Amino acid sequence: MKKILLFSAFVLSVLTANAWAISSEEAAVILATRNICPKAQKFVKKYLGKTFDDDIRYIYSKEARQIVPHNREIHYLHLDKNLQPMNVGKNDAYVAIEKAMEVVRAYKSHSKIVVTRALRTVICLMVDIHHIANIRIENIPHSQRDFSYKYHSTEVGKKKDKLEEANWSKLGKNCGGYPRGFSGEWRAYDMTIYLGDRFAEYSKGTLKDWAADNGAIAARYLAIYKPNAVVSCLDHKYTDPVTYDLMVKASCRLAALLNGIFK
Amino acid sequence: MKRFAIIFCAFVSVLGVQSAKAWHNFAHGSIAYMAEQHLSPEAKSKCNYYLRHTLSHYASWMDAWRLERFEVVNKSHASMSMPDGINLDFKSGDPAGGVMGHLVNALAELGDGKYKNLPDSVVRQRLINMAHYVPDMYCPSHVLFPESVHPSQKAHKLYEKGKKLGYHRFWDHCLGREGRVKWEYEELAAAVDKVSKKRVAEIQSGSLEDWGRDIIRLAQRSIEIVPMGTDVAYMPEEQVAAVRELVYEAAVLGAYRLAYVLNTIFADKNIPVYNDKK
């Protein structure tokens, strides 16, 4: 029975992410691949049957969408007012990652399909919890749902200034303002340059620490971005580097989780 | 300096600033991507150090920020209100003016190893700017000819399926137009970057004065290829091919010269402004 429940949980967990654009997620995963140890590389290849970055595309495939029902809740990270994960009674990304990692760590005692789905869940949701619009903080009511706001297209008073409509859930969707044309591979290269020698710094801590870190960043932005708020063009543009930094962190932390299995 | 101005004047009399954006973002990113492939190891490592991103990441930065903090972050270019286009702004005291003026200033600041004496943030900003305006110089619509030579760009109306289309907009959006909607930089670079070693050597030589002449030649050709009144949706195949050849040439010049500028700076050398080095 327990096995069936576990299996069902992971089937439900392999979902389509609603955060970044695909190539941004792809880039995060490619970068993670470059930072995992050889044992983890071998492990990923064995269970995903192909390269790491090919698999992130699988999650978005029609086939995957048909097999797996979509549950939006699984993408969110619920935090209390102290930015600690509210993992009791929630079936959010944090809980799903922890459950999936239990299976991945004990991969020898599970069937290949269960481990594969658990691995896909970790990949997908580790990226999702680093998208600030997926973070729901207990004492910030407007973080509990998507909302719309407006932003000035340029500085107030300038001739070309106009108010643009935008949605919180789309914040950072294009990862640091990347224009079209960046392939996943080229973004990953860009992220590699950005990361430099900070892998140890970015991957330090536990899942709980990372959740709190992401929560603190989200809280800072939720103080500016509120339903119907009018945001200055500078606030709007300065979110790009932050969302970019979070994506690099997502890849480092994903790599750290997988490296941790073989320590 | 005076001579440089006279040469420009002889060709086009007056060159104006463009208020519209230059190459569109995709073209800028692709050209910067191409340039990145031709950086020397030294230049690549220095660019990575200062930018902490690829050149293509910052290729459209100037367009994205030009309405906000442009004048603040580019104090040395305060005489310019726009990064795009060639402007012989004699009043600013800079005879080359506009885009060429930016490049002359940047090379004077960074070349011959002088970048080492500047704060990292200043070097970074100059690199970000160059990643944008060096390719921009080669956008064919960035030269405004005097009306005695050719009607203004405003008057040079084109059409697309019968609807009016600005001359500037047409050329800005030409590069990559022939590709599929979601072309990536690598794909456009593969289509464009087929230059022989001999041609590369030609491109990466000469002075800024020669480069200025190339810009003017490109602009003149663009007017001849797509004359006033053309409906770009119904251009014959030869005309389409000529347009493509021109924008590919412009992209190649922008990319290789951007790479050359950066390679030169980080080899502690400089590029002469005038042919006779006066």
**A138: CB partners within 8 A, 6+ apart:** A78, A79, A80, A81, A86
Of residues B90 and A243, which shows the higher confidence score?
A243
Of residues B109 and B84, which shows the higher confidence score?
B109
CATH number for B180 = 1.10.575.10
Q: What is the mean pLDDT of residues A237-243?
A: 79
Residue A259 CB neighbour total at 10 angstroms? 16
Of residues A136 and A158, which shows the higher confidence score?
A136
Task: Assign B208 a pLDDT band (cuts: 50, 70, 90).
Answer: confident
Of residues B142 and A175, which shows the higher confidence score?
B142
The pLDDT value given to residue A20 = 53
The pLDDT value given to residue B43 = 98
DSSP-assigned beta bridge partners for residue B163: B160
The DSSP H or E segment spanning B190 is helix B185-192
Counted domains in chain B: 1
The pLDDT value given to residue B218 = 86
The pLDDT value given to residue A189 = 92
Best A186, A189, A234 member to test B by mutation, with max B CBs in 10 Å, is A186
Rg of chain A over Cα atoms, rounded to whole angstroms, equals 18
A3 pLDDT higher than 90: no
Domain coverage including residue A46:
2-260
Give the gap in angstroms from C-alpha A181 to the nearest C-alpha of chain B.
Answer: 4
In chain B, whose CA is at the least distance from the CA of A183? Answer: B184
Token duo for residue B143? 């030269």
Q: What is the mean pLDDT of residues A82-108?
A: 88
Is the CB of B263 inside 8 Å of chain A's CB atoms? no
Judge whether B22 and B99 are in contact, CB under 8 Å. no
Q: If contacts are CB pairs under 8 Å, which of residues 193-212 in chain A contact chain B?
A: 193-194, 196
The pLDDT value given to residue B234 = 93
| Out of A13-27, A243-257, B53-67, B97-111, least confident range | A13-27
A17 pLDDT higher than 60: no
Judge whether B59 and B131 are in contact, CB under 8 Å. yes
A240 pLDDT higher than 70: yes
**A240: CB partners within 8 A, 6+ apart:** A172, A176, A177
Judge whether B81 and B138 are in contact, CB under 8 Å. no
The DSSP H or E segment spanning B259 is helix B237-265
Cα–chain center distance at B64: 16
Of residues B62 and B255, which shows the higher confidence score?
B255
Q: Kindly report whether the global pTM for this prediction surpasses the value 0.90.
A: no
Cα–chain center distance at B160: 25
The pLDDT value given to residue B178 = 63
Give the gap in angstroms from C-alpha B66 to the nearest C-alpha of chain A.
Answer: 9
Q: Which of B210, B196, B195, B212 is nearest to B249 (CA)?
A: B195
The pLDDT value given to residue A171 = 77
| Out of A55-59, A177-181, A194-198, B102-106, least confident range | A55-59
A30 pLDDT higher than 60: yes
Token duo for residue A28? 């995060």
Counted domains in chain A: 1
Token duo for residue A87? 């993992």
Give the gap in angstroms from C-alpha B51 to the nearest C-alpha of chain A.
Answer: 8
Secondary structure (3-state) at A46: helix
The pLDDT value given to residue A172 = 60
The pLDDT value given to residue A14 = 40
Residue B257 CB neighbour total at 10 angstroms? 23
**Residue in the structure block whose two tokens are 């050398």:** B269
Is the CB of B129 inside 8 Å of chain A's CB atoms? no
Is the CB of B125 inside 8 Å of chain A's CB atoms? no
B89 pLDDT higher than 70: no
The pLDDT value given to residue A74 = 79
Size of interface A-B (CB pairs under 8 A): 61
The pLDDT value given to residue A49 = 66
Q: What is the mean pLDDT of residues A176-188?
A: 76
Task: Assign B169 a pLDDT band (cuts: 50, 70, 90).
Answer: confident
A173 pLDDT higher than 70: no
CATH number for A60 = 1.10.575.10
Domain coverage including residue B17:
2-265
In chain B, whose CA is at the least distance from the CA of A161? Answer: B67
- What is the biggest distance separating any 2 CA atoms in chain B, rounded to whole angstroms? 56
- B155-161 CB contacts, 8 Å cutoff, 24+ apart: B155/B228, B156/B223, B156/B228, B157/B228, B157/B229, B158/B226, B158/B228, B158/B229, B158/B230, B158/B231, B158/B232, B159/B229, B159/B230, B159/B231, B159/B232, B159/B233, B160/B231, B160/B232, B160/B233, B161/B231, B161/B233, B161/B234
Residue B146 CB neighbour total at 10 angstroms? 13
B137 pLDDT higher than 50: yes
DSSP-assigned beta bridge partners for residue A152: A163
Of residues B177 and A20, which shows the higher confidence score?
B177
Task: Assign B148 a pLDDT band (cuts: 50, 70, 90).
Answer: low
B275 falls within a domain: no
The pLDDT value given to residue A188 = 87
Q: At what angle do helices A93-105 and A2-13 cross, to 10 degrees?
A: 120
Q: What is the mean pLDDT of residues B151-173?
A: 85
- A71-74 CB contacts, 8 Å cutoff, 24+ apart: A71/A12, A71/A15, A72/A18, A74/A12, A74/A13, A74/A15, A74/A125
Best A161, A180, A187 member to test B by mutation, with max B CBs in 10 Å, is A180
Show the DSSP H helices in B83-151 as ranges: 98-110, 120-136
Counting residues of chain A whose pLDDT is more than 90, the rounded percentage is 38
Residue numbers in A near B188 (CB within 8 A):
181
**A121: CB partners within 8 A, 6+ apart:** A10, A13, A14, A96, A97, A100
Best B23, B34, B52, B56 member to test A by mutation, with max A CBs in 10 Å, is B56
The pLDDT value given to residue B110 = 96
Of residues A84 and A169, which shows the higher confidence score?
A84
A175 pLDDT higher than 50: no
The pLDDT value given to residue A55 = 55
For chain A, what is the mean pLDDT?
81
- Contact across the interface for A182 and B68, Cβ inside 8 Å: no
Q: What is the pLDDT of residues B24-74, one digit of tens each?
A: 888 899 999 999 999 999 999 999 999 999 999 999 888 777 766 554 334
Residue numbers in A near B120 (CB within 8 A):
none
Of residues B142 and B72, which shows the higher confidence score?
B142
For chain B, what is the mean pLDDT?
79
Task: Assign B8 a pLDDT band (cuts: 50, 70, 90).
Answer: very low
Q: At what angle do helices B237-265 and B98-110 cross, to 10 degrees?
A: 30
Of residues A69 and A168, which shows the higher confidence score?
A168
Q: What is the pLDDT of residues A185-235, one digit of tens each?
A: 888 899 999 999 999 999 999 999 999 999 999 999 999 999 999 988 877
B278 falls within a domain: no
Residue numbers in A near B53 (CB within 8 A):
190, 193-194
Residue numbers in A near B57 (CB within 8 A):
176, 178, 190
Q: What is the mean pLDDT of residues A23-29?
A: 75
The pLDDT value given to residue A153 = 82
Pairing of strands B158-160, B163-165: antiparallel
The pLDDT value given to residue B209 = 77
DSSP-assigned beta bridge partners for residue A231: A151
Residue numbers in B near A194 (CB within 8 A):
52-53
Give the separation between CA A179 and CA A202, rounded to whole angstroms: 25
- Contact across the interface for B182 and A154, Cβ inside 8 Å: no
CA distance readout (Å), A22 to A28, A63, B237? 10, 16, 36
